[in-house]
Structures are given as structure tokens and as C-alpha cells.
A and B are shown apart, each in its own frame.
Chain A
Amino acid sequence: STLWANKSTNLQRGDTASTIDVSVLDIRNTVGNVPMEWYQDYPHIGYNLDGKKIFKPIRNKDELDEFLDKMENPDYWRTVHDKTTASDIRLTDEQVDLVHRLQKGQFGDVNFNEYEPSVDFFTNEVMIHPVTNRPQDKRSFIPSLIEKEKVSKLVHAIKMGWIKPRKPKETTPQYYDLWAKEDPNAILGRHKMHVPAPKMRLPGHEESYNPPPEYLLTEEERLVWEQQDAEDRKLPFLPQKHSCLRAVPAFSRFIHERFERCLDLYLCPRQRKMRVNVNPEDLIPKLPKPKDLQPFPTTMSLVYRGHTSLVRSISASPTGQWLVSGSDDFTVRFWEVNTGRCMKTLEVGGAVKSVAWNPNPAVCLVAVCFERTVLLLNPSLGDRLVVSSTDQLITAYEPPEEDKEQAVTWALSEGLEHNMGHRLTLTHPKAVKQVVWHGKGDYLSSVMPDNSSNLQVLIHQVSKRRTQNPFRKNKGLVQCVSFHPLRPYFFVATQRYVRVYNLIKQELTKKLMTNCKWISSMAIHPGGDNLICGSYDCRLAWFDLDLSTKPYKMLRHHKKALRGVAYHRNYPLFASGADDGSVIVCHGMVYNDLLQNPLIVPVKVLKGHQITHDLGVLDVTFHPTQPWVFSSGADTTIRLFT
């Protein structure tokens, strides 16, 4: 805009020459082409031709003035502001015309003719006389030596093979028969050791664009799928159904899946794993059929009802005619085995923990233990001669001269108690848990579990009314004890071990490691060389005493804690009762041949007892002659399986 202003002042000057009032209009600024902002802070704006200050107009135009001017002044469009003089100049018609012409790209001067005829300065015709008459140089005829040298160098380099022609770039790969000569030696060890990557999984029906409807996810399944992490999902995609092929969209994760496959191929560690394809049927051991191992109890034939609380212990008479049971309802009941009839009920002063019938058939005695007492009863059942001879045996006792201090007080029952059947009462210092007879029927052992003293096991001799404490030391909480059926051995089961003592030599002969957490019961094979242990951690351990101190066989066939185990006296059978309410009868054949290991085959699972208060079967015992098994349970019944 400053340029414009200058131009207009120049024009003005031309104009003013022709106008009359020269002195008034000629207010040219002499400061030259300097930024007018320099005079911002001064009252003047420059100097005129006479060297006088040109003063700024007193009042500047503001926006409003400008606007009004724009609206009212018809010449506003041709008014230009001159910054150098700070005045508005109205352009004349000629000036406006000039502006228009310049805007159109025409010459400023109206009179300039741009199409005047051109005049050649030099002629374009070849004249006979040259401008210069200098002869050509010699070098323009002779080939250049320098070039020759250069070329010969290149030729030499090519000859010597230093410079090679540029090979055409081969972009497309060339294929040929790569395997024309298949060399068997090329198959190296590494090819044999190569673990090929598994192939891509082949698609199932659910991947179809139009799958059967049962493969589509339901609404809930779809929601679950969406909420799962990508690794947890069973299907990596959502099955979809499209009505026609045209409607199938692109699979959005296609490139992802290919890329993941690539990653798997070069990043995933590989390992050769031997996977044996096992037929599960082959894992099941081949055992003789139970049918061939008969007889064994198969069905429940009798239920002995009468007790009102759980029946802790049962024992059969040596003749097999009677059965005694002790219960938590403070009673001892005598049953006839074949009829299931309760012959006798005896009230005792506490919950009966254990009952044991004297194994000697010539004696009719039953040991019952409750609280701190062991009671010897004569049930007066069976042969009268035997009953009376038993009474005579007890009364025939003569006290010795010197009375020894005993751990137990022996008391003979009289009067009413005698009529009820009580014969001898052994009062113990502590609560008694178990009583066991020796095979001959004269010795009796009782167990008083106590972790802190050596007085846990006592052996009583009935004929001499004598009691001994065989152990000087406490070797742990005694769970149960047992006599060897033939030899003078004594078995003591503590929580985890079974110790075998020689009673004559008075020494420890063996210590059996049961691998159980807590032994609950124990039974000795009538041959005396084998032993089974039931434990509260659902195991049954069979020990072959000749073989090892570790179990020969560990059976985990019960689901819950074992409570009782028993051997049959004649048949190769043993049974175990557990809290799962079942009695499992196994065939346990022991051979006379020392080289042959015992054969153990489970033959029958007997069920019948109801589980009450998480307790099932509490005790099992075999019939002395028949292949029958009795079991007593927490459901207050005793059952006979034949």
C-alpha cells in the first residue's frame, strides 16, 4: 500500500503541475521511504519541501467514521489513504483508469504500442564473406591424445577383466529341478532329530459358514465367550450362520491368525514327548474271577435289631452259635446267630467299648469293657457242662500267700450280679478301650490309651487273677493289641507302627512301618505270619511278616476311614468295615510255599448299613466256622452276610 501511495503522489505531482492551486496541494513529505511507524509517537509526520513539519491531523478517523464515510461518501471507493501525509486522496478518473489497466496486465501508458514491427539487427541470410576469416586449428583435425589415453586405459581394463559389463538385473527367481539328484547321504542326523511342527488344526463343523444349529452358541454361551480371555476360550471364534454364501463377510482376524502361526513356527519351543496310547482296559489288573474263589459272603441275610445306640463291638462264640455285642446304650446283648433272637440283655454301667468271647471252646466267658472296668461274664448260654465248668474254674482260685501290689483290682461278683452273669470285675486305673483274649483263653489283655504313661497295656491271667504291665516305656499312643495265635508273640499297634514283642524273651522282635497316618484296627492271620491293619486314612495294609517290615500290599478300596478288620479262622477271607457304610470282603490266600506271595483279590462289596453321624460300620467279625461275616454299625444294627 505504501508503493501505491508513492505512485499516487508521483501522479499527483504530474497532475498538480497542470492545476492552479499548486501551493495548497503540494505537501510532499521528504522523509523518504521509511516506515511511518517511526513517527508514531510524534505530533508530526515528516517534513515538507520547505523543511517545515507536517503535522498529523488533529483527530484521527475511527472505525465509526470510516463506516459512515463508506456509507455516505459516493467517492469512497476511489479514495486512498496516504500514510506519508496522513491524508485521504480522491483518485481522479485518469488515475482510476490507470489502475484498471494495470490490473488487466496492460501497459500503464495508454499510448504505448506493443505491436510495433520488429527490425532485424543482423541479417539472417548467409553472406559470402565470413565475419572472421581465421583458419581452423590443427587440433580440430587430429584425434585427441588425452581421450585416446583414457580409452586405451578403459580398453585395457576391459581386456584384463577389471571392468565387467553391468549384468541385467534378474528380478524373477529362476526355478529348476532342485531335487534332480536326491542324495541319501544328505539326510543328516538333524533331519531325523527334527521335530516337525504340528499341522494347522482342521476345521470342525462349528467353523462352517452355515453350521448345523446345535453348533451355534446360545445367548448365555455367547456372553460367557465374550467375557472370557482369549486364551481361555474353547473356540477362538464365534460360530455364525449365514443364509447364503453371498452374505459371508471377511474374517477380521485372518492376518492375525496367519501371523500367530508364523510366530508358533519359529518361536514356540518344541519337545518330543512320548505319548503312550493306553487302553484303559489294559490297566485293570487281571485277577481270578470272584466266582472261582467261592465261598464268601454275598448277601445280607439277617439283621439283629435291639440296640438303641451305635454298636461298637461284636464277637462270636467259638462254637458259632452265639454272638455278643456291646453298644453305647450301656447294654451288652447276646444273640442267637441262626435266628437273630436276642437271648439276653445285660445292663452295664457305661458305654461298652469292646466285647470279646473267650476263644477256648471249653470255657464260656465273655470279656466286656466299659469305662474303667473290664467285666468277665458267664452268659450261661450253650452247653450246661461248659457253663458250670467255667464257674468252677473261677471259683477254684486260691489266693497266693504273698499278695503282690497289682495295677488292677480283681473283684469276684456275688449275689444279684452273679445271677446276672457277672463273674469277675477288673477295675483299671484308666478308661479301657479294648480287651483281647489269648488263643488259649487264659490270658487277657486290655488297652488303656494314654499318651503320657507307660501303663497302657495290661496282660491279665484269669486263672491266677494276676495282672502284669509288660512295658516299661511309653512308645506312643497304643491303638490296639493282639496275641499271636500260635506263638508267644504280642502285637501292639501305636499310631503309626505295629510292634511285635516276644513275650518269653521279653524283647522287641519287629517294628512294622504301616505308612498310615493313624491305625484304627488290626487283625492277625490264623497262620500267624500275616497281618492286616486298617487305618483312619482309608487304607488297609497287608503285612507279610516273613517278607518285610513294610506293607506287602496297600489297599485303598474304601472311600472313608476304616473302623474294623477281621480274618476268617478257616477260609482264606478277610473283611474290612469302614465309615462309607460298606464291608469289603477280600480273598486273601496264604500259601505254605514260602516263595509264593499271598494272593489278594477283593471279592465282594457288602452294603446295608446306613451312615449315621458320618459313621458307618464300626466292627466286623467272621463266623468261626461258616463263611459268614457279621458287621455292626452306627445305625444300631448288626447284620449278618452269608
Chain B
Amino acid sequence: MGGLQKKKYERGSATNYITRNKARKKLQLSLADFRRLCILKGIYPHEPKHKKKVNKGSTAPRTFYLFKDIRFLLHEPIVRKFREYKVFVRKLRKAYGKAEWTGVERLRDNKPGYKLDHIIKERYPTFIDALRDIDDALSMCFLFSTFARTGKCHVQTITLCRRLTVEWMNYVVTSRSLRKVFLSIKGIYYQAEVLGQLITWLVPYQFAHDHPTDVDYRVMATFTEMYTTLFGFINFRLYQTLNLVYPPKLDSKAESELKAEHEEDYAMDSESYLEKLSALSASLARVVATAEEEENQLDLFPTEGEDQENMQAREKEQKEQEAQKRLFEGLKFFLNREVPRESLAFILRCFGAEVSWDKSLCIGGTYEVTDETITHQIVDRPDMDKQYINRYYIQPQWVFDSVNAQMRLPVEDYFLGTTLPPHLSPFVEEKDGDYVPPEKLKLMALQRGEKPVQEEEDEEEEDEEEEEEDDEEEDDVDDEELTEEKNLKKMEGTRAQGKTLAVKVTPGKVKPWETGSVGNKVRLEQEEKAEEKRLAIMMMKKKEKYLYDKIMFGKKRTTREVNVVAGPEMSSLCNNKKLINSRTTCVRGHYLFTWTLVPS
């Protein structure tokens, strides 16, 4: 026997992790600086597998960082900049205290700053990595660009965010990469497919923000600092891929078109340029002038069997996408002043439409309301005084729903003043067993190319139904009586004509399991299988049984939830008196569920 006694917590996982406070001390940074560094460098706490072991036997709640991460931070040049800044602040305070104004000015001139380029490069070694992580950056920049210049953050940050978001939108318009849009109660979601990556971002509605007091804007500002740098580089690269000039310039042709008469009165030249860009109504200048981007066709390789099927599927997908990109091509839109101009202009331009608006609303409108060639006017008011007969007056939801459906939906549901059909989220992909809203089913049928024949009937009936429902239940009773009376009259009439009453006997259907041979067999087989399964479950090991029970519980819960969503309507339907009628349409929101019951 011999050797040194091994001490606890000196090897293994206890040495791989470090608590936040210790890390901070090791880096000699204040908590605020440490936080800033972590945000910029993308360092996050890790959850150790055995917390107690890492925590040296204590169970106190602590956040742990990987020791490697902290060691990695030690060599970060930006840490020195933080310290320089601290010194600068101290000197400045001193100069202020002594009222040395020249000193203050000199110090201000030499204010230390830092760049984040190397950090971006280090965090995202390839462009695709950066692009994958851009969702949050986009949402944040879009939020910051809507801030008022009231001192919640630097004005430069706001203008920079605005500039970057405008550049991004222009890129999406030019590359036509928008895929899905969604009007939520939070804001407008957009999803674009850029270089094969799905990128989703959320833009708040255009309102002044009610700034909350319990939000630390410094944290948000640090994130924004990092995001704007990342976003700028990504924009640059994206513009390069499309052969566009960066920073974006308007097409010379478009520029001359957009030249307004009283432009000098409108804004300064530098400001109006960004406004014109953000109007999104003109195309951008290219480095090498090309007429139109040529269609890049899929190369055909000689393939066999399964590959061929895949190939065909891909080809089909490509075709669909191309069709979606040209969704609104050839249409001419006019936006009324009450609709969200920027988002609609963005979406419409993404799918190839021409769009304009009132001159007083924003710079960049290219034609007037009076233009006879306008095909659609987007309005969001109950009624219009003067209407042109050769254009559709539709509500903005039509645009959003059409984009999500990848087809131009029938405009009838979206006319001026009509009750809109529900707006569904395009991000939900129902698995089997999930609840599918009936509107979605209808949409899917429409996409498959089935003609909505029933719909008109439904709508008519719906109207009737609504009228009926406006009255009270007595009316229903009256209705029944009326029909009965009618039947009686009919019968009397036929009797009077001396004809025998045509009695129809429809042959009853026998339920499959009641028939002897075939049905019974099927049923027995099913039962046998169920029994077998039940018996096999008995033989499961304890661990597996637990897991199995858990999975089954989850499945059951989802079905229960689906039933809860779909349930009340169904149950109320079953209680509905009108089921007695031979054909009943049930109004659940709008249209749907049709039963045909044969009275036995």
C-alpha cells in the first residue's frame, strides 16, 4: 500500500467547469463587462451532468461555464479595450470635475472604440454558419429600427439598424426569396429561403413603443451591436452573390423616374435616398448590367430507379417554387393609406407585382389611384366612396393568404367589407392525429385543384342559416311545422289526382361486422391482434414499460387536446335539432361540415 491519498474534486468534471464568479475574477472584469464579453463572444453557461459533483458537493444553485471557454476568453483583445474604456471614463470624469474643457474635448476625440469583425469571423468561420444564426439578428434590428430617437439607445444604432433592414428587404425583393408570411397579434412574421436556409423574422406593427421599465436596454444594445456587425457583413456578401452594388444604389432608370418635383422640400438628399430605398418600389443597380437573371435549370443526369423519382420530385419542387416567385407577376396594386404600406409593398414586390401608393403617404409611389391599369386596390375600410369598376377592392389578408397558399386565392372572400375567413399560420405542419382546422382542409383541396363547388352553396346556406339563427328557436319549430305541412299538402294533392302514393323503400345497409363470414373474420383478426399486443405489453421490462407508458400518455394527451379544440362544436352539433333535417349545414365560423342523414 502506498501512494498519495487522492483528493476529491481535483480531477474530472469538477475541474472542467467554473462558476461565473470565479470566471469573472479570473478575467478581472466587472460583472457588466463580463456579461458584455459573453454576449459578444457567444459564451453561454453549461449544465453539467452531475451538478453536485461539479459544485464540489454543494447543492447551491450556480451557473457554470466551461473552463475551456473562459480560458478562450483570456486571450481576447477586446478585453483590453474594455479596460481602456474604463480608464477613459475615469479620466473624463476627472476632467469634468476640474472643469478642464479642452481636456474633455481632447479625451472625447480620442475615445477608445473597438471593432467586432474578428469576433464575427471567429464565431462564424463560414458564411453559412452566419446565415443560420441570423434569425435573432433580424428580429432585433427590425425592432430597433422602429424605436423613436428618445434616448433608449444611440441614434446611430437606430439609423444603422434601419439602413441594414432596408438593405435586407431590398435583397429579399431582388432575390425573390420570401416564402411565407403570417399576421400574428405580435407582429408580422416573414420566412425567406436564402441560400437554402430558412430564415424567419418578426417585425412589430408600426406603433410607438411603450418602453417597459423592467428591461435592461444595455443588454439589448450589446446584442444589437454584435448583430449589426454580423448583419452588415452578411448583407455585403448577399449583395455580392446577386451582383448588386453595395451599399445599394437605385437603378439609374428608376432613379430618374422617382425624381419627385418637390423633392428638395421633402428631405435632405442623403435622407431621401434611404427613404427611396425603403420605399422598395424600384429595382437596384447591378455591378454588371444584365437584362434579367437567366433561369438556372437543373442539370439532368442520367439516373435510375429511386434516384429518378427523387430527381422528378426535386424538379417538381423547383417548378413550384418558380411559380410561386411569379405569383403576382403582371398585377398592378395600389395601396390605400390605411394599410401597412411597408410590409405590403415588400411582399408584393417579392412576388413580382407592381405597387404604388398615394404621393402624400410616402415617397416612391409611381402611379396614381386614377391609373386605369390597376388590377387590385388594397383597402382596409368598411366602404369606399368612389370605386373603379375594373379593379378588385380587397383586404390585405388576401395577399398574405395567397402567398401562404402559393396561389392566387379567389378574391370573393376578401372583398371590401366582407367578414374575412380565418387567417391560418403557414408554419404549422400537422402530423397525423393532430387537429387540422377545416379551413386548412379546404385550402388543401383547393391546392390539389379540386373546385370548391360546394362552397357557393355553403355560402348561400350559410347566409340563410345566419338569418335563421338571428331569429329564435321558435322559428326552428315553425320551420319544421311548415315542412310537415308542405308534405301533407303534397300528399293530399297527389291523392286528389287519384294516383297512388309513391312509397320508396331503400334497402338497408348491413354493417360489415354483422355479416357472417367476411366481417367477422376481419373483426376477429383485429381483436386477436389487439389481444396479442396487450399480452406482449405484459411481458415488457419495467424500464421499457415505463418509457412506453410515457410515450403513450403523450400521444393520448395530444388526441385529447385535439378533441378539446374540436370537441365543443362537435358535441353541440350532435345536440342540434337541425340534424333532423335531411341536409344540415353547420356554421362553425363560416362554412363546413355537411351531413346527409337518411331518416330511418
Q: Which of A196, A197, A284, A605 contacts B548 (CB 8 A)?
A: A284
Which residues of the other chain, B, contact A173 by a CB distance below 8 angstroms? 115, 160, 228-229, 232
CA distance in complex: A254, B187 (Å): 9
Question: Are the C-beta atoms of B186 and A257 separated by less than 8 Å?
Answer: yes
Please count how many residues in chain B sit with their CB below 8 Å of the partner chain's CB atoms. 110
CA distance in complex: A190, B127 (Å): 17
Q: Which of A200, A202, A270, A600 contacts B136 (CB 8 A)?
A: A200
Whether, in the assembled complex, A211 has its beta carbon less than 8 Å from a beta carbon of chain B, the answer is: yes
Question: Are the C-beta atoms of A186 and B540 separated by less than 8 Å?
Answer: no
Question: Are the C-beta atoms of B396 and A245 separated by less than 8 Å?
Answer: yes
Q: Is the interface of A mostly helix, strand, loop or mixed?
A: loop
Which residues of the other chain, B, contact A186 by a CB distance below 8 angstroms? 121-122, 125
Whether, in the assembled complex, A207 has its beta carbon less than 8 Å from a beta carbon of chain B, the answer is: yes
Whether, in the assembled complex, A18 has its beta carbon less than 8 Å from a beta carbon of chain B, the answer is: no
Whether, in the assembled complex, A38 has its beta carbon less than 8 Å from a beta carbon of chain B, the answer is: no
Whether, in the assembled complex, A415 has its beta carbon less than 8 Å from a beta carbon of chain B, the answer is: no
Q: Which of B47, B133, B212, B535 contacts A270 (CB 8 A)?
A: B47
The proximity string for A residues 170-205 relative to B, scoring 1 for CB distances below 8 Å and 0 otherwise, is 011101111100110011101100011101101111
Question: Are the C-beta atoms of A555 and B538 separated by less than 8 Å?
Answer: yes
Whether, in the assembled complex, A208 has its beta carbon less than 8 Å from a beta carbon of chain B, the answer is: yes
Question: Are the C-beta atoms of B424 and A208 separated by less than 8 Å?
Answer: yes
Q: Which segment of A143-151, A258-266, A404-412 sits at the interface?
A: A258-266
Whether, in the assembled complex, B367 has its beta carbon less than 8 Å from a beta carbon of chain A, the answer is: no
The proximity string for B residues 125-157 relative to A, scoring 1 for CB distances below 8 Å and 0 otherwise, is 111011011011001100100000000000010
Whether, in the assembled complex, B565 has its beta carbon less than 8 Å from a beta carbon of chain A, the answer is: yes
Whether, in the assembled complex, A255 has its beta carbon less than 8 Å from a beta carbon of chain B, the answer is: yes
Which residues of the other chain, A, contact B569 by a CB distance below 8 angstroms? 214
Whether, in the assembled complex, A287 has its beta carbon less than 8 Å from a beta carbon of chain B, the answer is: yes
Which residues of the other chain, A, contact B122 by a CB distance below 8 angstroms? 186
CA distance in complex: A358, B232 (Å): 96
Q: Which segment of B319-327, B471-479, B526-534 sits at the interface?
A: B526-534
Whether, in the assembled complex, A57 has its beta carbon less than 8 Å from a beta carbon of chain B, the answer is: no
Which residues of the other chain, A, contact B127 by a CB distance below 8 angstroms? 179, 182
Question: Are the C-beta atoms of A557 and B538 separated by less than 8 Å?
Answer: yes
Question: Are the C-beta atoms of A252 and B381 separated by less than 8 Å?
Answer: no
Q: Tell me the chain B residues, 197-229 only, with Cβ under 8 Å from chain A.
A: 200, 202, 204-205, 207, 209-212, 214-216, 219-220, 223, 228-229
Whether, in the assembled complex, B503 has its beta carbon less than 8 Å from a beta carbon of chain A, the answer is: no
CA distance in complex: A268, B35 (Å): 13
Which residues of the other chain, A, contact B43 by a CB distance below 8 angstroms? 266
Q: Which segment of A117-125, A236-244, A308-316 sits at the interface?
A: A236-244
Given A177-B236, A270-B47, A211–B422 Cβ distance below 8 Å? yes
Q: Which segment of B177-185, B273-281, B307-315 sits at the interface?
A: B177-185
Question: Are the C-beta atoms of B539 and A287 separated by less than 8 Å?
Answer: yes
Q: Which of A191, A250, A266 contacts B207 (CB 8 A)?
A: A250
Please count how many residues in chain A sit with their CB below 8 Å of the partner chain's CB atoms. 85
Whether, in the assembled complex, B588 has its beta carbon less than 8 Å from a beta carbon of chain A, the answer is: yes
CA distance in complex: A166, B105 (Å): 13
Question: Are the C-beta atoms of B219 and A259 separated by less than 8 Å?
Answer: yes
> Nearest residue in A to B543 (C-beta to C-beta)?
A283
Question: Are the C-beta atoms of B47 and A178 separated by less than 8 Å?
Answer: no
Question: Are the C-beta atoms of A190 and B72 separated by less than 8 Å?
Answer: yes
CA distance in complex: A250, B568 (Å): 31
Given A200-B200, A265-B44, A269-B44, A207–B184 Cβ distance below 8 Å? yes
Which residues of the other chain, B, contact A261 by a CB distance below 8 angstroms? 136, 139
Whether, in the assembled complex, A278 has its beta carbon less than 8 Å from a beta carbon of chain B, the answer is: yes
Which residues of the other chain, A, contact B223 by a CB distance below 8 angstroms? 262, 265
Question: Are the C-beta atoms of A266 and B246 separated by less than 8 Å?
Answer: no
Which residues of the other chain, B, contact A204 by a CB distance below 8 angstroms? 425, 427-428
Question: Are the C-beta atoms of B184 and A175 separated by less than 8 Å?
Answer: no
Q: How far is the CB of A428 from chain B (nearest CB, A)?
A: 40
Whether, in the assembled complex, A77 has its beta carbon less than 8 Å from a beta carbon of chain B, the answer is: no
Whether, in the assembled complex, B458 has its beta carbon less than 8 Å from a beta carbon of chain A, the answer is: no
> Nearest residue in B to A291 (C-beta to C-beta)?
B528
CA distance in complex: A187, B540 (Å): 46
> Nearest residue in A to B111 (C-beta to C-beta)?
A169
CA distance in complex: A557, B538 (Å): 5
Q: How far is the CB of B534 from chain A (nearest CB, A)?
A: 7
> Nearest residue in B to A241 (C-beta to C-beta)?
B422
Whether, in the assembled complex, B25 has its beta carbon less than 8 Å from a beta carbon of chain A, the answer is: no
Question: Are the C-beta atoms of A280 and B139 separated by less than 8 Å?
Answer: no
CA distance in complex: A182, B189 (Å): 32
Given A208-B425, A211-B422, A602-B535, A255–B211 Cβ distance below 8 Å? yes
Given A190-B72, A214-B566, A269–B63 Cβ distance below 8 Å? yes
Whether, in the assembled complex, A212 has its beta carbon less than 8 Å from a beta carbon of chain B, the answer is: yes
Which residues of the other chain, B, contact A594 by a CB distance below 8 angstroms? none
Whether, in the assembled complex, A290 has its beta carbon less than 8 Å from a beta carbon of chain B, the answer is: yes
> Nearest residue in A to B533 (C-beta to C-beta)?
A284
Question: Are the C-beta atoms of A187 and B125 separated by less than 8 Å?
Answer: yes
Whether, in the assembled complex, A304 has its beta carbon less than 8 Å from a beta carbon of chain B, the answer is: no
Whether, in the assembled complex, A452 has its beta carbon less than 8 Å from a beta carbon of chain B, the answer is: no
> Nearest residue in A to B72 (C-beta to C-beta)?
A190
Which residues of the other chain, A, contact B117 by a CB distance below 8 angstroms? 178
The proximity string for A residues 88-112 relative to B, scoring 1 for CB distances below 8 Å and 0 otherwise, is 0000000000000000000000000
Question: Are the C-beta atoms of B437 and A177 separated by less than 8 Å?
Answer: no
Question: Are the C-beta atoms of B542 and A175 separated by less than 8 Å?
Answer: no
> Nearest residue in B to A287 (C-beta to C-beta)?
B536
Which residues of the other chain, B, contact A278 by a CB distance below 8 angstroms? 547, 551
Question: Are the C-beta atoms of B533 and A209 separated by less than 8 Å?
Answer: no
Q: Tell me the chain A residues, 269-315 only, with Cβ under 8 Å from chain B.
A: 269-271, 278, 280, 283-287, 289-291
Question: Are the C-beta atoms of B135 and A255 separated by less than 8 Å?
Answer: no
Which residues of the other chain, B, contact A290 by a CB distance below 8 angstroms? 531-532, 535
> Nearest residue in A to B417 (C-beta to C-beta)?
A244
Question: Are the C-beta atoms of A270 and B45 separated by less than 8 Å?
Answer: yes
> Nearest residue in A to B43 (C-beta to C-beta)?
A266
Whether, in the assembled complex, A399 has its beta carbon less than 8 Å from a beta carbon of chain B, the answer is: no
Question: Are the C-beta atoms of B228 and A601 separated by less than 8 Å?
Answer: no
Question: Are the C-beta atoms of A268 and B44 separated by less than 8 Å?
Answer: yes
Whether, in the assembled complex, A267 has its beta carbon less than 8 Å from a beta carbon of chain B, the answer is: yes
CA distance in complex: A195, B65 (Å): 13
Q: How far is the CB of B278 from chain A (nearest CB, A)?
A: 17
Question: Are the C-beta atoms of A269 and B540 separated by less than 8 Å?
Answer: no
Question: Are the C-beta atoms of B186 and A251 separated by less than 8 Å?
Answer: yes
Whether, in the assembled complex, A531 has its beta carbon less than 8 Å from a beta carbon of chain B, the answer is: no
CA distance in complex: A356, B376 (Å): 95
Which residues of the other chain, A, contact B540 by a CB distance below 8 angstroms? 283-285
CA distance in complex: A214, B570 (Å): 11
Q: Which of A176, A248, A263, A584 contacts B205 (CB 8 A)?
A: A248
Whether, in the assembled complex, A213 has its beta carbon less than 8 Å from a beta carbon of chain B, the answer is: yes
Q: Which of A178, A210, A287, A556 contacts B121 (CB 8 A)?
A: A178
Which residues of the other chain, A, contact B235 by a CB distance below 8 angstroms? 175
Q: Tell me the chain B residues, 3-42 only, with Cβ under 8 Å from chain A.
A: 35, 38-39
Question: Are the C-beta atoms of B184 and A209 separated by less than 8 Å?
Answer: yes
Q: Which of A166, A178, A208, A270 contacts B183 (CB 8 A)?
A: A208
Whether, in the assembled complex, A603 has its beta carbon less than 8 Å from a beta carbon of chain B, the answer is: yes
Whether, in the assembled complex, B90 has its beta carbon less than 8 Å from a beta carbon of chain A, the answer is: no
The 5 sampled A-B contact pairs (Cβ below 8 Å) are: A175-B236, A245-B395, A250-B210, A265-B136, A269-B47
Question: Top 3 nearest A-B pairs by Cβ distance?
Answer: A250-B207, A202-B427, A271-B47
Question: Told that A207-B425, A605-B535 touch, could you supply 17 new A-B pairs with CB distance under 8 A?
Answer: A173-B160, A177-B240, A182-B125, A190-B68, A202-B189, A202-B427, A204-B428, A205-B428, A209-B423, A213-B588, A248-B185, A258-B143, A258-B220, A265-B223, A266-B44, A284-B548, A602-B539
Residues of chain A touching chain B, judged by Cβ–Cβ distance below 8 Å, are 166, 169, 171-173, 175-179, 182-183, 186-188, 190-191, 195-197, 199-200, 202-205, 207-215, 218, 237, 239-240, 242-246, 248-252, 254-259, 261-263, 265-271, 278, 280, 283-287, 289-291, 555-557, 584, 600-605
